[in-house]
Amino acid sequence: MPLYSPSSPNNVAATLASFSSHAVLNAESICPFSTLELLIDDFFTYIHPLAPLPHEPSFRAAFQAREDLKNPSFLALLASMVGVLVASFPRRPRLHLKAQRREHLFPSSISLVDRCHKVAVEARGAGYLDRELTVYDAVTSYFLGLAAAYTLRWKQCRLYFGETLNISRLLGAHKAKDAGYLSVGSLPTTFGAEGGGYDGQPQQVDCIRQEIGRRVFWIMIVGVRYVFPLSN
């Protein structure tokens, strides 16, 4: 199934223009901000109890501070969260859009899932694996993989889940103690991250990042036993 299928040349041009650079990407690239606030509330109501990622208070603080305007990693995570919500509960966003008279923005739930995937991929950029990775990159990959599973895109699901597990292991999220010189986060303090270095100096343990890393790693270890056999 293609990722995004505009129905006319005009839509193709509009899509390319809207994602031509990271400078134009923000939360409104997903959907109107007022709708997005409702979707985030739904995420923490319906998805977060089953997959407790990310840390809710710090995420909400960053969301209200409009971290999406200056941090592509946060925007990618935000888009992946909305995507997995819509893929899991497609009627919820339709109700919100209809109540706000915005149902014309997305003719189907899958079109909103595709939009979220597109924004997440564009926000990350082509070389995101070459920069300093964080536990939130693993969480983003996990939600992208989960959304792919819910929409029966098994190849995409396998790729993102494999990426999630590899990032988690690279960061040492499976270890009982701090991984050492590898920094496991570089997002702002309001998002539960502090700076790290490679100079061998002791680093303050960020309990939020440490717990998020452990959760996403063990979710993958348990989930992969059920998701991959079902996709064969």
Q: What residue type is assigned to position 137 of the chain?
A: D
Backbone CA torsion sign across 108, 110, 116, 122: negative
Specify the pLDDT at position 225: 62
Specify the pLDDT at position 199: 43
Which tokens in the block code for residue 169?
A: 């292991």
pTM: 0.78
- CA–CA distance, 153 with 157 (Å, rounded to integer): 6
Please list the alpha-helical segments (H only) found in the chain. 9-18, 33-42, 56-64, 72-88, 91-99, 109-124, 135-150, 154-170, 207-231
Average pLDDT across each block of 10 residues of the chain; the chain has 232 residues. List them in order.
43 47 79 96 95 94 96 97 96 91 92 97 92 93 96 94 91 64 42 44 68 89 63 51
pLDDT in tens, 96-110: 999 999 989 999 999
Specify the pLDDT at position 205: 62
